[in-house]
């Protein structure tokens, strides 16, 4: 999975980091280039998606599937893919559409990984 994500970081111009975390924001897999600040890999950033999603649901917008935030130095795209929080951090001029397009590849890889790691409890 790490190699797959590293290939995506290299493929998308301006993309600097991908973090896959559980719903509580605990990073499970993270890949980044050398330019990304360590704070982007911390669980605080990753847990904000879950909080924002809950707030959106409380005001009647429904659960947030994707959030896109552009800051002065970076842009952050966070989404819920297969029950995990996936965070993409890129330069402000990174093509957001390209990030959204490759997220479909990441989602498919997570489905495949999930199917390989599920334990059939009905089998003795």
pLDDT of residue 41: 57
The predicted-structure confidence for 2-42, as pLDDT tens digits, reads as follows: 899 999 999 999 999 998 888 777 788 888 877 666 655 55
The answer to whether the CB of 79 falls within 8 A of the CB of 86 is: yes
Closest of 48, 38, 32 to residue 85, by C-alpha: 48
Class of domain 2-117: alpha beta
pLDDT of residue 34: 72
């Amino acid at each position: 999975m790490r190699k797959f994500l590293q290939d995506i970081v290299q493929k998308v111009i301006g993309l600097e980091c991908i973090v896959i975390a559980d719903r509580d924001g605990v990073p499970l897999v993270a890949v980044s280039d050398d330019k990304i600040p360590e704070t982007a890999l911390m669980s605080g950033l990753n847990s904000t998606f879950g909080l924002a999603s809950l707030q959106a649901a409380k005001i009647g917008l429904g659960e947030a599937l994707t959030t896109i935030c552009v800051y002065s130095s970076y842009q952050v795209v966070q989404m819920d893919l297969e029950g995990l929080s996936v965070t993409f951090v890129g330069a402000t001029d990174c093509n957001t559409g390209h990030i959204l397009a490759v997220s479909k590849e990441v989602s498919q890889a997570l489905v495949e990984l999930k199917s390989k790691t599920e334990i059939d409890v009905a089998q003795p």
